[in-house]
Amino acid sequence: MRFDELARSYERLEATSKRLEMRAILVELIRPIRPPDLAHVLYLSQGMLRPEYEGVELGVADSLARRAVATATHAEEADVGRRAKASGDLGTTAAELLAGRPRLETAHPLTVANVYAELTAIAQAKGEGSQEVKVRTLVDLLGRASPLEGKFLVRFVLGTLRVGVREMTILDALAEAFADGSKAARTRIEAAFNLSSDLGLVAGALVEHGLDGLASIGLEVGRPIRPMLAEREPTLAAVLERMGGTAALEFKYDGLRVQAHVPKSGPVRLFSRRLEEISAQFPELVADLPSAIRERPAIVEGECVPVDADTGDIQPFQLVSKRRGRKYDLDKAQTELPVRLFLFDVLLAAGTPTYSEPFPARRERLESIVRPNEHVAIAEQRVVASVDEATAFLDEAISAGGEGVMAKSVKEGSAYRAGARGYWWIKYKRDYTVGLADSIDGVVVGAFHGRGRRAGKYGAFLLAVYNPERDRFETFTKVGSGFDDAQLAEMPKRLAKFESSEPPPEVDTGISPDRWMRPHLVIEVRGAELTLSPIHRAAVGAIRAGAGLALRFPRFTGRFRDDKGPTEATTSKELLEMYRLQVRQEAADPPDGADAAG
């Protein structure tokens, strides 16, 4: 496949923000493609070279890309810099410069295979001399590129490709391009993706063996599974009712979710909730898991929490977040901020998948294969059948340092549902009993200049929730409170890469911030209550025509949700559910109870 076909499709994708149109363009693009190009096109279109969990990065800084553009177009580097500053996008500048340069007649047109191979070489160049290799490879590619191709190549290497196709849209397109486009087909394709986290792999199996071929995609040690997620209920009585009167309650530990892949021999790999590999951050878990798990290869899931080195007591979450992303002083961190992994599920044991077994069978298996040690334990659990029993267990969980309980269905159908949020698991935190107590994970889509003490900095941020049905980020609040000076100073750095001169097409809002941000950074906020708003667009029209949901008195909790990608933020549907719970709660509470919500 020629690369210019892909570039032309990107141009069309960029020009639309309608999901149906995007899907149609994608279907047209991918239908004629076969492996291995197919997988490569899908990864490239998401701005990646490999499935996200592999964490492959190109390692191309702005300055390096500028140098490559200057060399390839025989321009002065300083001039390239000036032009890119004016256009706000080095890709656009590269296209302009390439347009003014005579193209080699003899050059072969770029193919997707060439581009993919060269980009892979750029990613693989490591160590001494690697910068030169990266520049040279990029110069070669740009030397053969048309202006349009050059624009997208530059954006790709800088990580600023803005075609905006996310997984959900690609899954739709796969169902239409390679199956009958029905809901049933879409569901089967998504299920294969949830188990493998690899769209290229799923697309390949689908094209070569049809929908039935997807059954061949199973679990593999080292390839993360998309996590099963929980719903909420406002009271323990409601939790039990949902569960049919009986449920397995577990301590809800407040830490980092970890999916551990433990091979028969060889290194253990740990993945975060958003499937990033975090093995390097927790060497003690990597070291202790093999002896703690009897039947390997195994895939187990748990929550990693900080514990007191002397007493073994659970410590506040903030301590474990310090261990994330930490590259230095790992030895020091291990002794100063010790952690323990509380396992709550098993998806593969002795090489055989267990995820489709009902939860009680999985729990039994978990108990039989785990030999607890200093760093590995099993989540506390009790099966309860009354509100009194449930309340007593909740009290135990809270006093042991948990933040509430996780209720798990013990019914026949209680298989592990990868990538799905449902009432098979229900989270209940103690503070749900007062008004809107749960926090919301919002995506930053804009920023406002500060005034007074915050002059010259950002003073507030526009936040959105994610709507997977529309594949849009719908705003629900503008938050300025709760940031300390250090956090506020950190925001421009965290956001710099995502600034956008135009409103990003995937953002839906009635407000214009001073600066738009492409959806990336997720932060946790709390607020007094959810209300209806004419300017915010979260779940717009669900309660009243033209009105979206908005959070009153929002406050940043201090927690950056680096373990969540933008599409894993709170969803519009969840926000709507929270709004409804709050309305029910108000109806049930005496007036002074409602006051406590502020």
Residues forming the active site: 252
In whole angstroms, give the CA distance from residue 459 to residue 467: 26
Within residues 534-563, the interface with ligand ATP by CB under 6 A covers: none
Q: How far is the CB of 97 from ligand ATP (least distance, A)?
A: 44
Both tokens of 345, joined, read 């599920």
Closest-CB residue for ligand ATP? 257
Q: How far is the CB of 577 from ligand ATP (least distance, A)?
A: 12
Q: x/- contact string, 287-316, with ligand ATP (CB under 6 A)?
A: ----------------x-------------
CA angle 457, 462, 467 (to 5 degrees): 150
Q: x/- contact string, 336-375, with ligand ATP (CB under 6 A)?
A: --------x-------------------------------
Q: How far is the CB of 76 from ligand ATP (least distance, A)?
A: 49
In whole angstroms, give the CA distance from residue 342 to residue 251: 10
In whole angstroms, give the CA distance from residue 115 to residue 113: 6
Is residue 376 involved in binding ligand ATP (CB under 6 A)? Answer: no
Query: Taking contact as CB under 6 A, which single stretch among the options 4-12, 169-177, 246-254, 349-357 is the one that binds ligand ATP?
Result: 246-254
Q: Which residue among 2, 50, 136, 257 contacts ligand ATP (CB under 6 A)?
A: 257
Q: From start to end of 211-278, where are the E strands?
A: 229-232, 247-252, 256-262, 269-271
Whichever of 155 and 363 has its CB closer to ligand ATP, that residue is: 363
Q: How far is the CB of 250 from ligand ATP (least distance, A)?
A: 4
HEC assignment per residue over 88-111: CCHHHHHHHHHHCCCCCCCCCCCE
Q: Which residue among 250, 471, 508, 529 contacts ligand ATP (CB under 6 A)?
A: 250
Reference 585, options 241, 232, 231, 230; nearest CA is 232
C-alpha gyration radius of the chain: 25
Whichever of 60 and 379 has its CB closer to ligand ATP, that residue is: 379
Rounded to the nearest angstrom, the gap between the alpha carbon of residue 502 and the centroid of all alpha carbons in its chain is 24
Query: Taking contact as CB under 6 A, which single stretch among the options 35-43, 105-113, 171-179, 244-252 is the one that binds ligand ATP?
Result: 244-252
Query: Which residues partner with 441 through β-bridges?
Result: 524
Q: In degrees rounded to 5, what are phi and psi of residue 58? A: -80, -25
Q: How far is the CB of 328 from ligand ATP (least distance, A)?
A: 26
The residue with tokens 């997707």 is 112
Across 388-400, b (16+ Cβ under 10 Å) vs e yields ebbeebbeebbee
3-class secondary-structure state, position 394: helix
User: Pairing relation of β-strands 247-252 and 404-408?
Assistant: antiparallel
Query: Taking contact as CB under 6 A, which single stretch among the options 11-19, 32-40, 249-257, 474-482 is the one that binds ligand ATP?
Result: 249-257
Q: Which residue among 406, 530, 550, 578 contacts ligand ATP (CB under 6 A)?
A: 406
Which positions touch ligand ATP (CB under 6 A)?
229-230, 250-253, 257, 273, 303, 344, 379, 406, 427, 441
